[in-house]
Amino acid sequence: MSVGSNPPKSVAEFITAESSKNLLRFIICDNVDDGKSTLIDRLFFDAEIDFSLLPVALNTERDQGITLDATYRYFSTDTRKFIVADTPDHQQYTRTMVPAASTADLAILLVDGRTGILNQTRRHAYLLSVMAIKHIVLVIEKIDLTDYSAEVFEAIDRDFKSFAEPLGFTTIKSIPTSALKGDKLIETSDKMEWYKGPALLPYLEKVEIASDGFNSFRFPVQSVKRVGSEIPGFSGTIRGGSVCLGDEVMVTSSLKKSRVADIVTIDGNLTRANTGDAVTLVLENEIDISRGDMLASPGDLPHSSDQFQARLIWMHDEALLIGRSYQLKIGTQISNVQITDIRHVINVNSLEHLAARVVETNEIATCNFSTSKPVFFDAYNDNRATGSFILIDRLTKATVGAGMIDFSLRRADNLSWQSFDTDASARASMKGQVPKILWFVGLSASGKSTIVDIIDRKLIARGVHTYILDGDNVRHGLNRDLGFTDADRVENIRRVAEVARLMADAGLVVLASFISPFIRERKLAREIAGDLDFHEVFVDTPLEICEARDPKGLYAKARSGDLANFTGISSPFEAPDDPDLCLPGADKSAEELADMVIEKFKL
């Protein structure tokens, strides 16, 4: 079939066409200048294949909201249909390779016969194993430039299989090729009589890709729409198993049941729909279901947890920090999430597990995650669609990481929220006050602690129950194990915010005085407070005035290089854009500023 002469209008149409043929999705990875473009062009030319570029991204990437730089081509031979992802070869393009690999059945790893296995080859191989790709074709290219050496081929084959042995690939097939000469792409070559295996395209046409064996019904709800005038339908793509008319289904969030009354598609109604089908399901009775819910078979539900372990591929230039809040998107579900522990980072050259406090660009780490609400998932090795997620920076909305869930943490399965009759309002009413958290932000020596001390004295004199949380004081006890790196500052604020919430829940007016240099963590502190009154107060004192005060001599030490990671000098301070109150620290006395706070928040 020459798809270029009569190209399908969509990926779905291509997959449906000639349905008797198996579909193979594969990805091609190489190092810089290993000859990938030459190989692809020569392969298509010699096979007289007229390919078409994909007009849209594949479902998984589109649903996950990732913008792709990979080139997708689809073509067909007499025996098989193919979709191939051609990903960039530079290391910084991990963010492109990962989503492309997430839908692939097989990967071609291209290696220059003159250089052999490089670090980038090992990196690609490890990434492919993390993405649960089980079938590898090691194409040893430019074999003509090694005089068609069997020894070179065998050495590269041996080196790669030795490295890849613990990665769990089902098949590794090594094929020597010369794209420039056309050797071993389509037919056998008389220049390599020592190689008795198939050429590249014949191998791809016949390689058997076993089913992943996951038969559990999974239907993440993408949207809710009306079918006809009254009946609600739930649209999405089936991500596991199949569903038939009359099947009983359950909503994973509410555990309510119904039966499938109709299966609607743009091409007509079905009696059965399978994995990968985009459908609208109509149920027999109306149930409260919204985007982000999942339908599954009763008795065969996905895991539900707010804590899990996952392997994370970090894609952003700014490092991942423990405790920082991100947005997690798993299928159609969205939740806030924090990394509570970095178990280890992987050295992809040696597969060694390394201790780490941060995860840098392109690093792969195993981490523990805690979400703001339970999410529904399967282990990635069981179901790649319902076991994968992306992380989104909550400030910039950029995709910063991609993850593959290993398992739910047992600690989460053993915990539940205990409800009590007495709440924050009852405790506060005993004290005759409204509990609040006033979060004072500003540079060192901006006057935060002085202002808070004055407010505290005035409130106590009026019988208000208060407590001060001060940056220096908590580091003598609660946070004595933390330093002043970005990661430690994030954790410092997270812990203090949790304590502030507990104190406000006890009915107190909490005065928290912390530099709080990062916007993301101040936002997290507000979210931790929940429905309790939380007010951000920015003590806006210019750096030069803070530095002139310098009561502890810290600015002088920072300027001389004797004090690292000092906010305002060697570590950034992200000033609030829209605080609840901005105090002009250079223009008024501490007494006047304290009175401004008391008046503003009616303390």
* SS3 sequence of 550-568: CCCCHHHHHHHCCCCCCEC
Phi, psi of 550 (to 5 degrees): 35, 60
Rounded to whole angstroms, the Cα distance separating 408 from 291 reads 23
Q: How far apart are CA 364 and CA 361, in angstroms?
A: 9
pLDDT for 62 equals 41
- Per-residue confidence (pLDDT) for residue 191, from 0 to 100: 86
The two structure tokens encoding residue 138? 């090691």
Per-residue confidence (pLDDT) for residue 59, from 0 to 100 = 38
Domains of the chain: 11-206 (3.40.50.300), 218-296 (2.40.30.10), 303-413 (2.40.30.10), 424-600 (3.40.50.300)
pLDDT on residue 51: 60
Can you give the pLDDT at residue 247?
95
Amino acid identity at 357 = R
Strand ranges, E, within 422-564? 436-441, 466-470, 509-513, 533-540
* Distance separating alpha carbons of residues 126 and 433, to the nearest angstrom: 58
> Which are the contacts of 82, defined by CB distance < 8 A and separation ≥ 6?
23, 24, 25, 26, 74, 75, 76, 204
Residue 22 parent element (H or E)? strand 22-30
Segments of the chain with pLDDT less than 70:
1-21, 32-35, 47, 49-70, 88-95, 212, 227-230, 411-421
Unique residue bearing structure tokens 């979210």: 527
CA distances to 209, 255, 368, 505 from 417, rounded to whole Å, are 45, 19, 20, 15
Q: Write out pLDDT tens, residues 300-340.
A: 999 999 999 999 999 888 899 888 889 999 989 999 999 99
CA–CA dist 189, 195 (Å, integer): 9
| Active-site residue, 335 included | no
And the tokens for 108? Answer: 């071609």
Report the C-alpha gap between 543 and 562 in whole angstroms: 19
Catalytic-role residue among 76, 388, 513, 516: 516
This prediction has a pTM of 0.75
Token reading at 443:
């540079």
